[in-house]
Structure 1
Amino acid sequence: MKSSHRPVLIISLILSFWNPLHAFQSEDLTPEFSFTEGIEGPAVDKSGALYAVNYGEQGTIGRVSETGMAELYLTLPEGSIGNGIRFDREGTMYIADYAGHKVYRVKRDSKQPEVYVEGPEMNQPNDLALSDTGVIYLSDPNWGEGTGNLWMVPGAGELVLLESGMGTTNGIEVSPDGKYLYVNESEQRKVWKYDILPDGTLSGKKLLISFEDYGLDGMRCDVKGNLLITRYGKGTVVLVSPKGKVLKEIRLKGKNPSNLAFGGRDGRTVYVTLADRGCVEKIRLPHKGSYYSKIH
């Protein structure tokens, strides 16, 4: 190949992954109602496969290919129903079990859930985030009372209460540089920002942004530190800067987005779970996902 052709080839390859004409436009990845209305916790493993809870029936986890082909991956023990999912750098899957007050661990190349931590004092572990040091942070809402807690899991079997008496804690995420933790309160429509201390505990709580209407659910950061937040009931995903400024609001097909995750060949595809449609929609963003980039 002549060297003069190389720039054209490089540009073509770039455009094959990122096309601004398709940015911020939602389309279906999976058929409607292939998952239950409890669809949640999307997470992408190192191979690029997408996982979400409650495939076909409650208490399951489904695996979805990049082309949208879904299959049953595993079934949780009786009495357990998953919500948030995250993978660590070793490929271990962690699952928040809101019905059984647990977090499960599923090691790479295994389909056997093991109890990583259990706490009957928790309301219902909802979503989780992983720090660069392997610490797990858990949101723990009490929907009936409109309150919530925030927990830390430093290691297997260790459960530390960081804050109680919050609003309905839900979406949770660590900033790309590992310095901050974001936690939202669904019914109060607030997003809080904390400093993460060397031991994993938190300080310096301050309000990042608040909204006047509709609920908040899952959150993820891109590599630039922008925070994507699902607007439950409104049918949008909102992009918020690290300073708390709304940069973009993306319209979805469904009304009740429950969570999201970055994936795709270049890390710029965002998979959004829709409770009212029981499926996954996907959108394209200009920047890769922060957490996705760390595990790939």
Structure 2
Amino acid sequence: MPQTTATPTPECVLDLKATLGEGPVWIDKEKTLYFVDITEKKVHRFHPDTKDLKSWTAPERVVFLLPADDGSFLCGLAKGLYRFDPRSGEFAQHALVEPEQPSNRLNDGCVDAQGRAWFGTMDDGEEKPTGAIYCVRQTEGGLAVSHHDEGYTVSNGPAVSPDGRQLYVCDSPEQRIYAFDVTEAGELKNERVFAELLDGYPDGVVTDSAGNIWCAVWGGGRVICFSPEGKELRSVPFPCSNVTKVAFGGEGLRTAYVTTAQKGLSREVLAHEPLAGNLFAFSVEVPGLPQREFRLGK
């Protein structure tokens, strides 16, 4: 891995040329990184030490993977929540989301310290503010999905602070990252603007162990690290425009793995960005947080 410096240099660790690489999560007990290619309906599992790559094809566009406490994943597909079991490769439908909004699809997600999952929806055409933020938890009767906020054109993130008291959510076309207070009951309060971008669009966000927020910038060719107060601490440039999300993994969770995308780039731009769509990594001084698991409670 590259040595830690004031401005790390990302290293391409997997030449995949994903159309829309997204949603990386580190599974420490496997020492592997799972991530998706939304457009190609692919789930990928990459072992950085051996360079082994295994892939599965989802029934439809797959937008996020969140590990569950039974070894499976809560998986967001375009129109609903599924259980994905990498041991069998099977996808089982759990719940449809927003059937009354046929032009919407699910987007990014995360798990909080209580084992609840947060995710958002978006207008598939990226034009109308029809998206919303949801929370899902396991109950005796099955998955319970609750609606918490709306008015998003392209919801992104989300991410939870180390203490679980703040939720960060992006509305990418608005170039804004919002923060909410999270109550013990899992309600969102006190919405405010956490940060605004002038160049590029905030995509996936993740928090580290110090509460800093790492934001991948779509169309901006970089990853920005913000302090918990919203001050920009560091900007890490990338050799491609569309940077999508960060996950912390590796020894001591001191490696930032970053997905990127070719989607939306012309042939001319791709000729100048031959690494677009690949998986990158760079070293960090502050470790990430262990990946939380969705609590099935069984």
Q: Is the shorter-chain TM-score for this pair beyond 0.5, marking a shared fold?
A: yes
Q: Which runs of 5+ in 1 are unaligned?
A: 1-16
Q: Does the CA contact (< 8 Å) of 2:122 and 2:155 recur in 1?
A: yes
Deviation at 1:264, TM superposition (A): 0.9
Q: Is the 8 A contact 1:232 1:256 kept in 2?
A: yes
| Aligned residues: CA RMSD | 2.3
Q: Specify the alignment match of 1:43 in structure 2.
A: 25
1:128 aligns with 2:109: yes
Letter in 1 for 2:255: T
Q: If the length of structure 2 is used for normalisation, what is the TM-score?
A: 0.83
Unpaired runs of at least 5, structure 2: 263-275, 294-298
Q: Which has the higher contact order (CA 8 A, sep 6+)?
A: 2
Instruction: Report the secondary structure of 2:258's partner residue.
Output: strand
Query: Which residue in the other structure is 1:25 paired with?
Result: 9
Bigger strand share: 2
> Within 1, Cα distance between the matches of 2:236 and 2:57?
33
Displacement of 1:158: 1.9
Letter in 2 for 1:151: Y
Aligned residue number for residue 61 of structure 1:
43
So what's the TM-score if we normalise by structure 1? 0.84
Q: SS state of the match for residue 144, structure 2?
A: coil
Mapped partners of 2:182, 2:93: distance in 1: 26
State the distance in 1 between where 2:197 and 2:131 align: 18
Percent same amino acid among aligned pairs?
24
Q: Which digits, 9 at most, give the CA deviation of each residue in 1:91-144, with x for residues without a partner?
A: 43222212xx11222357443222233222452110111111111111111113
Q: Report Cα offsets for 1:146-187 as digits up to 9, x if no partner.
A: 552111112243221111223421121011111111001101
For these two proteins, the number of residue pairs brought into alignment is: 271
- 2:95 maps to 1:113: no
**Deviation at residue 22 of structure 1 after TM alignment:** 8.9
Conserved in 2, the CA contact under 8 Å of 1:118 and 1:157?
no
CA drift at 1:71: 2.7
1:103 aligns with 81
> What's the secondary structure of 2:170's corresponding residue?
strand
1:52-84 deviation digits (Å, cap 9, x = unpaired) = 1139x812211111147243332222xx11112
CA 1:161/1:222 → structure 2, altered by over 3 Å: closer, same or farther? same
- After superposition, what is the alpha-carbon deviation per residue over 1:214-235, rounded to whole angstroms, capped at 9, x for unaligned? 1110111000000000011111
Give the greater-gyration-radius structure (CA): 1
Inter-partner Cα distance in structure 2 for 1:261 and 1:117: 26
For the residue of structure 2 that corresponds to 1:187, the secondary structure is helix
Residues 72/19 of structure 1: CA separation in 2 closer, same or farther (3 Å cut): closer
More helix by share: 1
Between the aligned partners of 2:41 and 2:111, the Cα distance in structure 1 is 23
